[in-house]
């Protein structure tokens, strides 16, 4: 990939409206010979920025993304502030040669910490105690589950999965992982390929969904898979809602096929008010917040800045999409 100065002057970079003026100023100070343009919420590109070749994307719906591409047809690189590519890899984008990069090494720590919070809350039945507190009821269960010696199965052994494995292992859990190309990894006792999914499900006391949403993983976990799990097992999903068949998950939770779930992602977001997940007593619902941390934007801009330097020098970019077909 090469970047050259256009007839209108220095190369132009578009930023989605979710970024602020402060971000534009910060990048402009670091790259004084680059033009940065903050887009409106509509994604419409001002005429003077129609020569833009780069889009820095954050919280940008697909229709707004397409509006930006219409207004700047020369875009050849999109960097997304998300950990996954599905927010940007639309059929239209997939059909182009636009290089896609993601924020790879920023969100893994806050997400892994959030997994720990949900897992501990489920194992220690905190939702029940919070309900009792609200009702001023003093009631002790016969016992609580310990994580030490239990088995955690993590579907997806990327940066987020590895950060989660390290923390769960430190709590004394046996940690199994699943990766498309299995290999020994720190924090995991064993990493299996996709053909080991049944083993992970059957042995899991805690199942963590941390894989990207791709044609291979969409609806990967449904009625048949839930039936293979222990009735005492709990699930934490911080990946994408569509990795599981949501109606099958609801049925498994209602009938006691599995014991509980901590869900930060859903098939439809925001989660509709009439969705049955809201009212299930063995479910923790959080509004897709596992990635949030005060340091995220500065760290993400550091990653983007390093890639922008490489882009301006005509070098290959870091954390680029490897396969449009696989989605990661």
Both 99 and 114 in one domain: the answer is no
For the question of residue 240 being annotated catalytic, the response is yes
- Asked if 33 and 160 sit in the same domain, the reply is no
Whether 288 is a known active-site residue: answer: yes
Q: Look up residue 245 and give its two tokens.
A: 């068949």
pLDDT at 205: 98
pLDDT at 327: 85
- In a domain? residue 147: yes
Q: Is the pLDDT of residue 132 over 80?
A: yes
Asked if residue 30 belongs to a domain, the reply is yes
Q: Tell me, what's the pLDDT at 78?
A: 98
Same domain (yes/no): 177, 77: no
Residues 79 and 203 reside in one and the same domain: no
Q: Given a cut of 90, is residue 133 above it in pLDDT?
A: yes
CATH number at residue 48: 3.40.50.720
State pLDDT tens for residues 263-318: 999 999 999 999 999 999 999 999 999 999 999 999 999 999 999 999 999 999 99
Predicted model pTM: 0.90
Catalytic hit among 183, 224, 247, 269: 269
The whole domain housing 61 covers 12-106+294-312
Are residue 72 and residue 181 in the same domain, yes or no?
no
* 33-60 pLDDT tens trace: 999 999 999 999 999 999 999 999 999 9
Q: Is residue 6 part of a domain?
A: no
User: Of 174, 228, 276, 288, which one is the catalytic site residue?
Assistant: 288
Q: Which of the residues 57, 102, 162, 240 is marked catalytic? A: 240
Are residues 237 and 146 part of one domain?
yes
Domain count, the chain: 2
Residue 326's pLDDT is 82
- Other residues' Cβ atoms within 10 Å of the Cβ of residue 295: 10
User: What is the reported pLDDT for 182?
Assistant: 96
Q: Has residue 6 got a pLDDT over 70?
A: no
Is the residue at 181 inside a domain? Answer: yes
Structural domain contains residue 161: yes
Mean of the per-residue pLDDT values for the chain?
Answer: 95
Asked if 247 is an active-site residue, the reply is no
Residue 219 is predicted with a pLDDT of: 98
Residue position matching structure tokens 């870091």: 318
Residues 32 and 137 in one domain: no
Q: Tell me, yes or no, whether 163 and 45 share the same domain.
A: no
* 320 falls within a domain: no
- What residues contact 313, with CB distance under 8 A and at least 6 apart? none
Q: Give the pLDDT confidence of 262-274 residue by residue, as tens digits.
A: 999 999 999 999 9
> Do 246 and 117 fall into the same domain?
yes
Average pLDDT score over residue span 187-192: 98
Share of the chain above pLDDT 70, in %: 97
In the block, residue with structure tokens 């229709």: 63
pLDDT band at 5 (very low <50, low <70, confident <90, very high): very low
**Measuring CA to CA, which residue among 122, 116, 118 is closest to residue 253?**
122
- Identify whether residues 99 and 183 lie together within a single domain: no
Distance CA 126, CA 11 (A): 53
**Are residue 16 and residue 153 in the same domain, yes or no?**
no
Percent of the chain with pLDDT over 90: 93
Is residue 322 included in any domain, yes or no? no
* Pair (239, 300) in one structural domain: no
Compute the average pLDDT of residues 63-70: 98
Which residues are registered as beta bridge partners of 153? 176, 207
Left, alpha or beta for 319 (phi > 0: left; psi -120 to 50: alpha)?
A: left
Residue 210 lies in a domain: yes
For residue range 121-131, list pLDDT tens digits in order.
999 999 999 99
Cβ atoms of residues 171 and 147 within 8 Å: yes
pLDDT at 328: 81
């Amino acid at each position: 990939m090469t970047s050259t100065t256009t007839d209108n002057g220095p190369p132009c970079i578009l930023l989605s409206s979710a970024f602020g003026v402060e971000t534009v100023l910060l990048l402009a100070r670091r790259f004084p010979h680059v033009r940065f343009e903050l887009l409106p919420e509509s994604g419409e590109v001002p005429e003077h920025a129609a020569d833009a070749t780069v889009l820095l994307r954050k919280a940008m719906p697909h229709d707004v993304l397409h509006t930006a591409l219409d207004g700047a047809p020369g875009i050849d690189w999109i960097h997304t502030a998300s950990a996954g590519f599905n927010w940007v890899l639309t059929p239209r984008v997939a059909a182009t040669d636009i290089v896609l990069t993601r924020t790879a090494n920023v969100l893994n720590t806050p997400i892994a910490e959030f997994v720990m919070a949900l897992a501990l809350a489920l194992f220690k039945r905190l939702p029940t105690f919070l309900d009792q507190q609200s009702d001023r009821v003093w009631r002790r269960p016969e016992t609580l589950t310990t994580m030490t010696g239990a088995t955690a199965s993590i579907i997806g052994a990327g940066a987020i999965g590895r950060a989660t494995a390290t923390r769960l292992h430190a709590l004394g859990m046996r940690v199994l992982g699943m990766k498309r190309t299995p290999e020994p990894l720190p924090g995991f006792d064993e990493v299996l390929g996709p053909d080991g999914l049944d083993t992970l499900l059957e042995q899991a006391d805690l199942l963590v969904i941390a894989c990207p949403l791709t044609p291979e993983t969409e609806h990967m976990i449904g009625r048949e898979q839930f039936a293979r799990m222990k009735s005492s097992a709990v699930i934490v999903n911080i990946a994408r809602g569509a990795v599981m068949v949501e109606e099958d998950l609801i049925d498994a939770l209602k009938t006691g096929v599995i014991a509980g779930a901590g869900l930060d992602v859903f098939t439809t977001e925001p989660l509709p008010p009439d969705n049955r997940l809201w009212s299930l007593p063995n479910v923790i619902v959080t509004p897709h917040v596992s990635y949030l941390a005060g340091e995220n934007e500065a760290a993400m801009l550091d990653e983007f800045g390093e890639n922008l330097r490489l882009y301006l020098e005509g070098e290959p970019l870091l954390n680029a999409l490897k396969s449009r077909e696989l989605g990661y």
